[in-house]
């Protein structure tokens, strides 16, 4: 990832007729390495961990079960979800079609059946925000390596 | 922009004299001073998908944002994609009209 990847927000058409503004989501294309298709993945800055549908595991990514679980509330219900090590790659935005996807391996929570009315991947703190610098602006968001944040704000951490 | 007259006299109504200026300003103008757009976002910078005909179904969208495959479940869609070999498509679910807007993980 030599350059910052600039993405537009996505309007899936949620809440039309009710919301005062379109509901805009920060969505990137995520896939298991080499898979022809990708999953629309919502970046959830409040999410503690990346969560995927079990179908995502079946598409590749060398999933390895960690024999650990956690309680997670998703889709209005609380579930005990299994944790896996999984390799995913984020695909570049439409504005950078020649850029190479960036792969990373991390822990994901796998929920089956998938209750979320949206995408099959939700990118959270563990498994995404600990790997990339994501900058949100009013008209779009930017994905960069984690090192960018450390360089930009070196030694400016919260002393408290 | 219209307001409900039932609560017009409520202290939290935008018409009430004591209504906090900052909130009132946000509601009426919706435009921070450093913004160049008038309606809260720049439409040209938003990827708008019209998935209404596929409401509630899982869909595969091509690079032109056209739906090229759909199925009632994610598993069925992935099976169909494996068979069809459509190449680089993006998988998502079309929202249904009556579904609430989900906050984060919901």
ipTM of the complex: 0.88
In B, minimum Cα distance to A76 occurs at B106
- Give the model confidence (pLDDT) of A42-91 as tens digits: 999 988 999 999 999 999 999 999 999 999 887 778 889 999 999 999 99
pLDDT given at position A1: 63
Distance CA A142, CA A149 (A): 12
Q: Higher model confidence: residue A28 or residue A36?
A: A28
Please, where are the H alpha helices in chain A? 54-57, 146-152
Give the other-Cβ count within 10 Å of A150's Cβ.
13
Question: B70 with B54: CB under 8 angstroms?
Answer: yes
pLDDT tens, residue by residue, A96-126: 888 999 999 999 999 888 877 778 999 999 9
User: Measured between beta carbons, which residues in chain A are less than 8 angstroms from residue B100?
Assistant: 15
Cα of A40 to nearest chain B Cα, Å = 6
User: Residue B32: what pLDDT?
Assistant: 45
Question: Is the Cβ pair B95, A47 closer than 8 Å?
Answer: no
State how far the Cα of B65 lies from the Cα of B67, in Å rounded to an integer.
6
Closest residue, chain A, to B55 (C-alpha): A13
A133: tokens are: 């610098």
CA distance A62 to A23: 34
Contact residues, B window 9-68, toward A, CB-based 8 Å cutoff: 30, 32, 35, 37, 39-42, 45-52, 60-61, 63
pLDDT-derived band at A131 (thresholds 50, 70, 90) equals very high
Chain-chain contact of B87 with A36 (C-beta, under 8 angstroms): yes
- What CA–CA distance (Å, rounded) separates A85 from B35? 42
Mutate to test the interface with A, among B57, B84, B105 (most CBs of A within 10 A): B105
Q: How far apart are alpha carbons B37 and A127 in whole angstroms?
A: 34
If you measure CA to CA, which chain A residue comes closest to B48? A11
| pLDDT the model gives residue A159 | 60
Per the CB < 8 A criterion, the answer to whether A66 and A84 are in contact is yes
Tell me how many residue pairs between chain A and chain B have CB atoms under 8 A apart.
127
- Note the pLDDT of residue B60: 96
Phi and psi at residue A133, to the nearest 5°:
-95, 125
Dist CA A18 CA B78 (whole Å):
32
Q: Are A66 and A83 in contact (CB under 8 A)?
A: yes
- 3-state DSSP assignment of residue A83: strand
């Amino acid at each position: 990832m030599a350059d910052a990847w600039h993405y537009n927000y996505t309007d899936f058409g949620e809440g039309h007729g009710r919301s005062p503004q379109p509901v805009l989501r920060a969505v990137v294309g995520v896939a298991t390495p080499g898979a022809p298709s990708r999953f629309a993945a919502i970046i959830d800055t409040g999410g503690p961990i990346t969560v995927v549908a079990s179908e995502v595991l079946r598409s590749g990514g060398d999933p390895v079960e960690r024999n650990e679980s956690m309680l997670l509330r998703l889709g209005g219900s609380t579930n005990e979800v299994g944790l896996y090590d999984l390799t995913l790659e984020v695909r570049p935005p439409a504005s950078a079609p020649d850029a190479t996807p960036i792969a990373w391996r991390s822990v994901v929570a796998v929920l089956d059946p998938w209750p979320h009315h949206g995408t099959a991947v939700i990118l959270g703190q563990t498994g995404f925000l600990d790997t990339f610098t994501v900058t949100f602006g009013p008209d779009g968001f930017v994905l960069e390596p984690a090192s960018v944040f450390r360089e930009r704000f070196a030694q400016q951490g919260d002393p408290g | 922009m219209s307001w409900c007259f039932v609560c017009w006299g409520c202290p939290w109504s935008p018409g009430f004299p004591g209504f906090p200026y900052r909130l009132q300003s946000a509601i009426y103008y919706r435009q921070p001073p450093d913004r160049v757009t008038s309606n809260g976002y720049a439409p040209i910078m938003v990827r708008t998908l019209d998935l209404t005909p596929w409401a509630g179904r899982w869909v595969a969208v091509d690079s032109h944002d056209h739906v090229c495959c759909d199925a009632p479940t994610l598993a069925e869609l992935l099976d169909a994609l494996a068979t069809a070999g459509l190449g680089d498509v993006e998988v998502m679910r079309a929202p249904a009209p009556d579904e609430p807007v989900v906050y984060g993980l919901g």
